[in-house]
Amino acid sequence: MTSTGTPSAPVVGWIGLGDQGLPMARAIADAGFPLHAWARRPVSLDALSGVPHVRHDDITDLAAASDIVALCVGTDDDVLRLAGQLLEGLRPGSVLVNHGTGLPSAAVRLTQMCAAAGVEVLDAPVSGGRPAAEEHRLTTMVGGPQLVAERCEPVFASFSRHVVHLGDAGAGQTAKLFNNALLMMNQAAIADIVDLAAELKLNPAQLVEVLKLGSASSTALSLLNTMVTPDNVEHLSGVEALDMELFDQAMRDADVDSAEATARGISGAHRLPGLIQHLNA
């Protein structure tokens, strides 16, 4: 432990203050964990104004000061690049956590990369989006050693309603990719129903609101015109398509034939803008 951390309140280093990362970092500080932060662009740290934290100009200093360093950044390449820098300061026994969505194989690679330095690794992607992050009700899917997951669970619980350990390195990422794929497959099913309703001259928006109240209700339905809006749907559609590429790659890496599921998920991602357009005609 560092001089400012205790077994019950480890020092948490944080990198990534985006849409989900910022409310997650705030939740950690609000829960009483000493929070340290670094950003590639120092001005990004201004988002933590009013939040108790220690600001670092050097990523190695952040690593040396932290018991747990959490990354909430865009891609596996970003994670691996930052890990290489962090390993110059991380102490044996510290933990590196990746909260982003990526390939299970990259989680294994990160684990192997850190093992030589005695640094533990967890892949712990989250689901729920910014609203759930702000309300501390994310679902965190954890892969990596059980004992390490237990050490970090109090930190994860600060921003999560559910924290689930799923297995060894990569298990969290696999679960997150299945989560994303199923969401998009459900979107494809909703698009099918809305297209049929339009042929019958039914009001699609009215129908969807009724479906939300019945046994057909789903998260995919509840997100329409709430979290998914005409203003952000094109962006979200693109993000979803990239997630399906990750899903497809993960399945191919595992030598699993997922062609049908992948095609259905991609359909849901690509049809999302048209679905929102139907509901706002």
Task: List Cβ neighbours of 128 (8 Å cut-off, separation of 6 or more).
Answer: 137, 138, 139
In this structure, are strands 120-123 and 12-15 parallel, antiparallel, or unpaired?
unpaired
Q: What is the DSSP letter of 122?
A: E
Its pTM stands at 0.93
Neighbours of 136 (CB within 10 A): 18
Q: What is the DSSP letter of 51?
A: S
Q: Helix 259-279 to helix 171-199 angle, to the nearest 10 degrees?
A: 50
pLDDT at 8: 67
And the tokens for 126? 């989250």
pLDDT at 1: 34
**What is the chain's length?**
281
3-state secondary structure of 233: helix
- CATH 3.40.50.720 positions along the chain are 12-167
Domain at 12-167: CATH code:
3.40.50.720
- CATH 1.10.1040 positions along the chain are 174-279
CA distance 66 to 200: 60
3-state secondary structure of 161: strand
What are the tens digits of pLDDT across the range 206-218?
Answer: 999 999 999 999 9
CA distance 154 to 1: 16
Q: How confident is the model at residue 3 (pLDDT cuts 50, 70, 90)?
A: very low
In this structure, are strands 54-55 and 68-71 parallel, antiparallel, or unpaired?
unpaired
Candidates 1.10.1040, 1.10.10, 3.10.350, 2.60.40; CATH matching 174-279: 1.10.1040
Mean pLDDT of the chain: 96
Q: Which residue has the tokens 């009700």?
A: 137
pLDDT at 2 over 50: no
First to last CA, the chain: 58
